[in-house]
Copies of this chain bind each other. A is one copy, B any other.
Amino acid sequence: MSESPKNSPLLTPLAASLPATVPFVGPEAQERATGQPFKARLGANESVFGPSPNAIRAMRQAVKDMWMYGDPESHDLRAALGKHLNVAMDEIVVGAGIDGLLDSLVRLTVTNGTPVVTSAGAYPTFNYHVKGYGGTLHTVAYTADHEDPDHLIAKAREVGAKLIYMSNPDNPMGTVHSANTIQRMIESVPEGCLLILDEAYIDLAPRGSAPALNTKNDRVIRMRTFSKGYGMAGARVGYAVGHASLIDAFNRVRNHFGMNRISQIGALAALADQDWLADVCDKVETSRQALYQIAEDNGLDALQSATNFVAIDCGGDGVFARAVLDNLVAQGIFVRMPFVAPQDCCIRISCGAPKDMTLVAKALPKALAAARAGTQNL
């Protein structure tokens, strides 16, 4: 991309101070750069298994109604989610993916200098929003490839944080804590602080990874999505569950008419097809096993994953892993990797269909050989 033009004089001091970086570059930009479509799209933890056929059918039928705005209250979807989760409708807000909900939540709670705690190398889009509203990020290290609840809580107490971000299962490492560990973390959130528990991947995790929802507790908000297990990343439907006083506040800032009409309809149909979700979980498990095996076949360690991706330790440093990744990308395999050391010794490969796994199995040895040769040439 070309160099950014100079700052518009109209920007607020905060906006003028923000970098022009973006959280992620899309695979389409890489395809345009190389002029080649990817053979396997395994970088953004999308679900190649797609949405429920019922959801696809419902969305196809709904296309003809695209002339109408979506329901600004997402009433039917919130009602169905409330029933599914056994919480009240006014304890649920629907938004344009977890990204959109994080934007609204950070806007509601963070202003210049507000202290916020996350893990070094956790979800960059959360950091983007915190910086975007002027907050101050404090980070703690991962412990053994897991986000560390005790360290996050301790740091929050130390800096007087208003927000703690924690994903369970974790992205980008795929590791998970038990419901008991997370429940203890929730109970230790300091007064005046909110834990954002990002459960984007919870549908794909072992049962017992999510503590019971308790919307009476105003120190935690849970965020979930139709982008991962439900296979509808392109539809942009996420939701947050929490105390009614906090959920209600979203209505003061959110884009009320921002929800796509057929996405609402698709999500409703997807939620109703829990058998499909169970089937996707089986397929994801098969693919995880294939990725573990591919790692082993190449003499590498793969992390046990509770998500639809597997982090594979390439056995070197971040520069080496980047070289492996670049070569995979050059071979037409879209993958990504953690941004921050020491996790950046890994590459992160999304689960896929058997044909995707075959491509990875074929490409990885070449990528490793090329990276080793390149490193030796340095």
Residues of A within 8 A of B (CB): 2, 4-15, 18-20, 22-26, 28-29, 32, 41, 44, 46-51, 55-56, 59-60, 63-73, 75, 90, 96-97, 99-100, 103, 107-111, 114, 125, 132, 162, 192, 194, 218, 227, 231-236, 243-246, 248-249, 251-253, 255-263, 266
CB-defined contacts of A18 to chain B, threshold 8 Å? 252-253
- Beyond the given A24-B256, A26-B73, A132-B253, please list 13 additional residue pairs across the A-B interface where CB-CB is below 8 A: A5-B90, A9-B192, A12-B108, A13-B111, A20-B252, A26-B71, A46-B68, A50-B66, A59-B66, A60-B60, A69-B227, A97-B257, A99-B256
Q: A15-B252, A99-B257, A252-B15 are in contact. Are A109 and B66 (CB under 8 A)?
A: no
CB-defined contacts of A258 to chain B, threshold 8 Å? 96-97, 99-100, 236
A11 adjacent to B249 (CB under 8 Å): yes
B249 adjacent to A66 (CB under 8 Å): no
- Max chain B CB contacts within 10 Å: which of A13, A14, A15, A259? A15
**Contact check: which of B20, B68, B110, B255 meets A96 at CB < 8 Å?**
B255
CB-defined contacts of A70 to chain B, threshold 8 Å? 234, 236
Q: Give 16 pairs: A residue, B residue, CB < 8 Å, sorted on A.
A: A5-B245, A8-B249, A10-B109, A11-B108, A26-B69, A26-B71, A47-B67, A48-B67, A50-B66, A55-B66, A66-B232, A99-B258, A233-B261, A234-B261, A235-B261, A236-B258
Closest 9 CB pairs of A and B: A234-B261, A28-B71, A18-B252, A5-B245, A8-B245, A26-B72, A8-B246, A50-B67, A66-B234
B63 adjacent to A28 (CB under 8 Å): no
